[in-house]
Structure 1
Amino acid sequence: MATIPPPAEPATPAASAKPPSPLSFVDYRYFWLARFTAVMATMAMVVVIGVQLYDTARTDYGMSVHEASFQLGLLGLFQFVPLAVLTPVAGWAADRFERRSVAIFSNLVDLCIAATLGWFTWTDGLTLPLLFGLAALHGVARVFSGPAMSAIAPNIVPPTVLPRAIAMSSIAWQSASVIGPAAGGLIFAAHSASVYVFAVLLLAISAFTISRVRPVLPPPSEVRRHPLREMADGLQFTWRERFLLGTITLDLFAVILSGATALFPVFARDIFHTGPDAVGFMRAAVALGSVAVGVGLAIHPIERNVGVKMLWAVAAFGAGTVAFGLSTNLLLSLALLVVMGAADMFSVFVRSTLIQLNTPDHMRGRVSAVSGLAISASNELGEMRAGSMAAVMGPVGAVVVGGAAAIGVTALWAWLFPELRRARTFEPQFKQTD
């Protein structure tokens, strides 16, 4: 198994009882900024693409609310297909190639997508097929970025700092998720094409800053095997380790059932009767709750009864989803979304830390790819589920039923995977072997 090279700056004091801040390592600072800017650009694009697709379906194609909602569900499907097909390849690439290069390449692909969307927005040439196609390409970029970025962090900080590093990485993701949607919605409302110029600049900054991190070489492999065999290893390892399987699939099924973000444009336009800026505020409200919890966890990470706390956080997210679906007041809905974001951040922190610390370094890229597929599948398939159900029972029914089902899944997983309830600390739940 590869060992973590000693950081160039600064040396950890031998006598220090408390691990240093991850930001005291220069490579981690570059990594944090790269993650922050890339996510801010991506979240701004996601909000605007959803708004543009819904408005195009309603205005240019004359679709009803139910028909246009179904198009939002299809958008999730178009983003999920490349993730499902390419995830094994992306995980293998993160374990076999220089991880910075993989992350930079994916950022540049996303930059080209943003530039293309900006051009067609400027020339008023957007169509549903074009939006679906570019959304699928956006999924391709994300599938390669996720495993590479996730596998970088454990190699640039010592193991004792990793829980705080993961919390601060989540802060980067969530704070960018606050700023990105709000900025994207406001910029789009002022000048539609400018939001993509904003995204291009941020993605260029992200590519540059990740290039400043020292090279993160793939861990050595004692036996070189066929790439397809190595890709399958990640799936087999996750399936074999019930603790990892339960942790990953809990998020997968809970978010598939309770995902409501795809219907934000529907709620904004046809329930709250507001403009696209409200979509950005709804996205930002979720992330605001996440940031608040993320900051708290970075300062005081939890150490005890982590498994039970993760299960309760997922159940709280489902309950918040039910309340959001029943609300008809925008301010109340925004408050509920803040609570949902806080619960989600708590479960994300516990899950991410458990997965990273329970995975050998030579498998991290592939296991991160499996985890990333579950997260992305839950988001995209959750959007498809929400859009399809909204076409049948309306947006309110789709959200309420989904949130209630997520609570049921949490209870079921607590019974099916007692390993989750028994996880007292972040210490590995099994003996890692090379």
Structure 2
Amino acid sequence: MSTGPGADSAPAPATHDTTPPTPKQSMFSSLRIRNYRLFFTGQVISNTGTWMQRIAQDWLVLTLTGSSAAVGVTTALQFLPMLLFGLYGGVLVDRLPKRPLLLFTQGAMGLTGLALAVLTLSGQVQVWHVYVTAFVLGLVTVVDNPARQTFVSEMVGPRQLANAVSLNSANFQSARLVGPAVAAVLISAVGSGYAFLINGLSFAAPIAGLLMMRMGELHKAPRAPRGKGQLREGLKYVAGRPDLIWPIVLVGFIGTFGFNFPIWLSAFADKVFDGGPGMYGTLNTLMAAGSLAGALLAARRGAGRLRLLVAAAAGFGILELVAAFAPSVWIFAVLMVLTGMFGLTVNVTANSYVQMATEPQMRGRVMALFMMVFTGGTPLGAPLLGWITDAYGARTGFAVGGAISLLAAVGVGLVLARVGGLKVKVDLRRGRKHIRFVPDEKRLTAAA
């Protein structure tokens, strides 16, 4: 039997959003904490390098092969280790001290960037080199992702956790504003190699930040002792919590089928709108602008809510469907801003909700499952959506991803409503909410 909230009694109805309200806070309140400030600064620099490498990597593969499916394979290989080993990464994170773990993973990620830079700048790079580098980076990410996610709570404590999770996303999206633009200039001027080089060197910043932290100011979480059955224990814990498992299922569908933007944006830039690497970088930058706005709004909201998660996921799917058939690059660009905002809202809301609803000693395993489902589905979705994009065109590929995301949002929303004893009420009268969830009195009476 799992322990903690919901273990000895039925879980609180998920769709009633019974999460206790967090104290009112400013948008940047977590940055008052020195350790988190050091972490945040280092991540801004390394995230900028990471986005430069992502753009350069996708464009290099497209240049070497001329295939959107090959871009999908690269993306798939980078996330395949998370699908295969993600849960084991969570077990390690729950057992080991997170700061030394992050020093190792951040250094290893820097070395992968430097290796790809040497191959590219020497003129020896081949597409299989990119595949291998992407896979190795994915292996490191298996531990790095849950370690970074859970280390946030040790730096800021529970009261600031939701704010810090949102600021982490704002950090990542701020870097996404700069990274693609710089990468596009570098690719056009001197090639992809220098983007890889800058990314490799950028990891010196987070390593320095980790080394400068004051250990006495960390809110150290209890570590799980070594023992058998810890992986199974984590899965059982989530399986017994409908308020955790269904948000994870939803982000799994969104991550697998809705977040294949390297495939779609490179195809739209190259084949639909006849642009080049500059347009690809610009489209990524516009998505980042929307994502940054979504992250900052989330930072003000505080704790995530399941109703917001489902609504944002539905809006995300609708926007992808509309963007797939945008008649001009300008309309497509505006829709990418909105898509970025809604996609980031899905990610941040689910992330903060799951972290805050999970006990600290289980958080590494639960967040590893979260990341495994969210990014580990990419090895399945990316090649499939890449093939559809190659065979039937960029518009069809994008529309398929949006349709699946929308159906997943509707399906999970209805399941959560049923779990929470709610039903859908449609009211078409003027001035009323046309669709809303209300208590299902018959069902609640029967359950009692």
Normalised TM-score (structure 2): 0.82
Q: Secondary structure at the match of 1:156?
A: helix
What per-residue deviation string (whole Å, max 9, x for no partner) do you get for residues 138-186 of structure 1? 1112222110011111112232222212221221122112222222222
Aligned residue number for residue 281 of structure 2: 280
Aligned residue number for residue 250 of structure 1: 250
Is 1:40–1:176's contact at 8 Å kept on the other side of the alignment?
yes
User: Structure 1 residues 380, 338: closer, same or farther in 2, change over 3 A?
Assistant: farther
Q: Secondary structure at the match of 1:170?
A: helix
> Aligned AA for 1:219?
P
Is 1:243–1:420's contact at 8 Å kept on the other side of the alignment?
no
Aligned residue number for residue 173 of structure 1: 172
Q: Where do 1:335-374 residues align within 5 Å?
A: 335-374=334-373
Aligned residue number for residue 26 of structure 1: 34
Q: Where do 1:30-429 residues align within 5 Å?
A: 30-58=38-66, 68-192=67-191, 193-215=193-215, 219-221=222-224, 224-226=226-228, 229-261=229-261, 262-298=263-299, 300-301=300-301, 306-418=305-417, 419=419
User: Structure 1 residues 309, 50: closer, same or farther in 2, change over 3 A?
Assistant: same
Distance in 1 of aligned mates of 2:380 and 2:203: 26
User: Structure 1 residues 358, 112: closer, same or farther in 2, change over 3 A?
Assistant: same
Is 1:97–1:218's contact at 8 Å kept on the other side of the alignment?
no
Is 2:36–2:155's contact at 8 Å kept on the other side of the alignment?
yes
> Aligned AA for 1:163?
A
> Aligned AA for 1:296?
L
User: Structure 1 residues 415, 120: closer, same or farther in 2, change over 3 A?
Assistant: same
Structure 1 consecutive aligned stretches of length 4 or more whose deviation exceeds 4 Å: 17-20, 215-218, 419-422
> Aligned AA for 1:297?
A
Distance in 2 of aligned mates of 1:374 and 1:177: 23
Aligned residues: 394
Structure 2: gaps (5+ residues): 4-22, 423-436, 438-448
Is 1:94–1:218's contact at 8 Å kept on the other side of the alignment?
no
User: Structure 1 residues 303, 122: closer, same or farther in 2, change over 3 A?
Assistant: closer
Distance in 2 of aligned mates of 1:182 and 1:355: 33
User: Structure 1 residues 420, 318: closer, same or farther in 2, change over 3 A?
Assistant: farther
Output the aligned Cα RMSD: 2.3
> Aligned AA for 1:269?
D
Distance in 2 of aligned mates of 1:311 and 1:99: 32
Deviation at 1:224, TM superposition (A): 4.1
Deviation at 1:309, TM superposition (A): 1.7
> Aligned AA for 2:227?
R
Distance in 2 of aligned mates of 1:220 and 1:77: 32
Aligned-pair identity in percent equals 21
Is 1:34–1:205's contact at 8 Å kept on the other side of the alignment?
yes
What per-residue deviation string (whole Å, max 9, x for no partner) do you get for residues 292-341 of structure 1? 1222332x31569x222211111111111112221242222221111001
Q: Secondary structure at the match of 2:203?
A: helix
Distance in 1 of aligned mates of 2:179 and 2:348: 21
Is 2:256–2:377's contact at 8 Å kept on the other side of the alignment?
yes
Deviation at 1:258, TM superposition (A): 2.3
Distance in 2 of aligned mates of 1:69 and 1:91: 32
Distance in 1 of aligned mates of 2:184 and 2:278: 4
> Aligned AA for 2:31?
L
Is 1:259–1:399's contact at 8 Å kept on the other side of the alignment?
no
Distance in 2 of aligned mates of 1:384 and 1:39: 25
Deviation at 1:39, TM superposition (A): 2.2
Normalised TM-score (structure 1): 0.85
Distance in 1 of aligned mates of 2:237 and 2:182: 41
User: Structure 1 residues 142, 277: closer, same or farther in 2, change over 3 A?
Assistant: farther
Is 1:308–1:420's contact at 8 Å kept on the other side of the alignment?
no
Distance in 2 of aligned mates of 1:264 and 1:18: 38
> Aligned AA for 1:385?
L
Q: Secondary structure at the match of 2:166?
A: helix
Q: Secondary structure at the match of 2:82?
A: helix
Aligned residue number for residue 443 of structure 2: none
Is 2:298–2:349's contact at 8 Å kept on the other side of the alignment?
no
Distance in 2 of aligned mates of 1:212 and 1:264: 39
Distance in 2 of aligned mates of 1:160 and 1:323: 39
Distance in 1 of aligned mates of 2:44 and 2:232: 31
Deviation at 1:256, TM superposition (A): 2.0
Structure 1: gaps (5+ residues): 2-16, 59-67, 425-434
Q: Secondary structure at the match of 1:124?
A: coil
Is 1:94–1:147's contact at 8 Å kept on the other side of the alignment?
yes
Is 1:170–1:294's contact at 8 Å kept on the other side of the alignment?
yes
